Homo-oligomer: A and B are copies of this chain.
Amino acid sequence: MPETVYITRRETFNAAHRLFRPEWDDRKNLEVFGKCSNPLWHGHNYVLYVTVGGEVDPVTGFVANLKELSRLVRERVIQKLDHANINLEVDFMQDRLASTENLAIGIWEQLEEAVNQMGAKLHKIRLEETENNFVEYFGKGNAFNH
């Protein structure tokens, strides 16, 4: 029977964003998004956890090579987000509101195929916006089973 093990890599990035809908006026945006709608931006130290699952390779003892996983996350995600403006500069966020939920989904999409080609399976994206708020995403159609 397979020994599924999950391994997680933590990376961080600092970025600016705002939450707003262009078709709404400032008052409506303020009402729905609060201070997060500030037109002059605000920002966060985001903490990202990428979890992959798989069987342990009997040759290396690894589910996935963490150096390779880290390189992949930096190339496809951190390099685009770090010290950037999520609304204006990040290609994979151009058609979405810059919420933590959507950012987690966007990061998943950036990583899924490449991680799976490493021989492991992308299992979870956890994205912390502040010490008080975080989001978890398990991929399209996936959820905790209950």
Using CB atoms and an 8 Å cutoff, list the residues of chain A in contact with chain B: 1-12, 14-17, 19, 21, 32-36, 38, 40-45, 51, 53, 56, 59-63, 66-67, 82-85, 88-89, 96-102, 104-105, 123, 130-138, 140-146
Contact = CB atoms under 8 A, between A and B. Distances in A.
> Helix, strand, loop or mixed for chain A's interface?
mixed
Contact of A143 (B19, B138, B140, B146): B146
A36 to B, nearest CB: 6
A5 B107 CA distance: 13
A8 B105 contact: no
16 contacts: A4-B138, A5-B105, A6-B144, A12-B130, A14-B42, A16-B43, A21-B59, A38-B85, A41-B85, A44-B44, A61-B101, A61-B102, A62-B101, A63-B135, A123-B144, A143-B146
